[in-house]
Structure 1
Amino acid sequence: MTGLVDAHCHLGDAAFDPDREAVLARAREAGVGHVVVVGASLPESERAVALAQAHAGLSATAGIHPHEARHWSAAAAARLRDLLALPEVVALGETGLDYHYDHSPRDAQRRAFEAQLTLAREVRKPVVVHAREADDDVAAMLRGADTPVVLHSFSSGPGVFAAGMAIAAYFSFSGMITFKNWTMTDRLTACPPDRLL
């Protein structure tokens, strides 16, 4: 693998249908050598896998996003396990907790997140975690994760940062760090370079 790696891209989204190939070409021209296409629902995970199977330089994740957690079931868990067995799938995710929008009930989010952490441990895959306004629950659940973790688009407080550091998680910070009202500079500067995506 050479060049930059886009570690979190929703290239399977229908918004890319008209120009997905052009997007990939521009990424290659810009020096991106590999793209991880993220799944946030079962259909999106299946699209991510199909893209990774069809294109060199792409891999996929498979998971159930907290917005979709109300759809978690034994059947969803079984399908997710099947997807995670595929060689193109490099991680479980995007999963986690999002108490900002509450598109799924919080108890459903916690159940789905815990089940996916357990599944990731069983299949020995890292986990891509989405965490928004759920610091106490995310921090507590991370402490027992026992699998590699990426805290995607990190915007959580010091408790989640400390929990992530304690388990040697990787952190990605999005374009939010450029916002004038962004106040988490201490966490960005405290993040060791080898833990920063």
Structure 2
Amino acid sequence: MADASFDNVPASDGALPEALQFRSPAPLVDIGANLTHQSFADDLDAVLARARAANVNTLILTGTDLEHARQAAALSERHAGLYATAGVHPHDASGWNASLAGHMAALYSHPGVVAVGECGLDFNRNFSTPAEQEHAFEAQLALAAEHGLPLFIHERDAGTRMREMLTSWRDDIGHAVVHCFTADKDTLYGYLDLDLHIGLTGWLCDERRGHHLRELVGDIALERLMVETDCPYLLPRNLPAKLKGRRHEPALLPWIVREIAYWRDMDEAALAEATTRTATAFFRLPA
């Protein structure tokens, strides 16, 4: 989740403009789609159909709190190719308690739940105090270790403390991905040194704040790189046509992959195949 204060995102009123009807040359996995967001309530089936038309066949729905994690798990039961994460975002860490931990633990036995998270640290907004965030994150690290699930991690302006906490847990947890990575080179290298995965979004497509990422994408090994929309947030700013409203959706993921491939100086199909292979292994999805 890019910004918990993001509200009232307009829903699409129909098909995407022709210039935005992309199709990936190979199937894609969107590892971060907030499809339980209210903006998708009225047209979710159409959104999923557009994703399939774009060859985005597998979606990991982000569970940022108990309510949305349960909704995501329920959607995974109703739609093929949908899976869920379950966790508590650092913005909501102040609400972490033993009861909530028990409810989350119950979700980890659901067959559609494939990761613990979205969880982590966000020292940019501090909607929960740093101490509350660290407490909730450490509890979720323990749950991931206990249940043998990978971690879906949020980090903003907290790279040093994140690396410290993950270093102390690295022998106990399995795979972990820092989703929607936006930080600097030193932070990236610190995560790669911890053998973490990296999720890239349309942040790369934003000339105002994502330009530095274009120089870093080639430093991420393909077996550590995954792609995501983080929709409805982070609509790419350099799309070739205007999109009514500001809502991002999974059908636009091929544009992000095309941009990453360009800045890595590699074939788009090869990048699509590699990120899907990495995501399939990371989340233990059916081949």
Q: TM-score range by the shorter chain?
A: over 0.9
Say which of 106, 118, 125 aligns to 2:149: 125
Q: Given the superposition, is the C-alpha separation of residues 135 and 42 from structure 1 closer, same or farther in structure 2, using an over 3 Å criterion?
A: same
Contact 2:153/2:176 (8 A) holds in 1: yes
Partner of 1:194, secondary structure, is: helix
Say which of 129, 135, 146 aligns to 2:159: 135
Say which of 16, 41, 62 aligns to 1:38: 62
Higher CA-based Rg: 2
Say which of 198, 202, 211 aligns to 1:175: 202
Q: CA deviation at 1:103?
A: 1.1
Q: How does 1:6-155 map to 2 (within 5 A)?
A: 6-143=30-167, 144-145=169-170, 146-155=173-182
Q: Per chain length, whose mean CA-contact separation is higher, i.e. which structure has more relative contact order (CA < 8 Å, sep 6+)? A: 2
In structure 2, what is the Cα distance between the partners aligned to 1:13 and 1:50? Answer: 14
- The two structures, once aligned, show a CA RMSD in angstroms of 1.4
In structure 1, what is the Cα distance between the partners aligned to 2:151 and 2:103? Answer: 17
TM-score (norm 1): 0.94
Contact 2:119/2:140 (8 A) holds in 1: yes
Say which of 139, 151, 160 aligns to 2:187: 160
Q: What percentage of aligned pairs have identical amino acids?
A: 35
Q: CA deviation at 1:4?
A: 1.1
The equivalent of 1:189 in structure 2 is 218
| Aligned residue type for 2:47 | V
Q: Which has the higher strand share?
A: 1
TM-score (norm 2): 0.66
* Unaligned segments of structure 1, at least 5 residues: none
| Aligned residue type for 1:189 | G
| Aligned residue type for 1:166 | D
Contact 1:35/1:59 (8 A) holds in 2: yes
| Aligned residue type for 1:129 | I
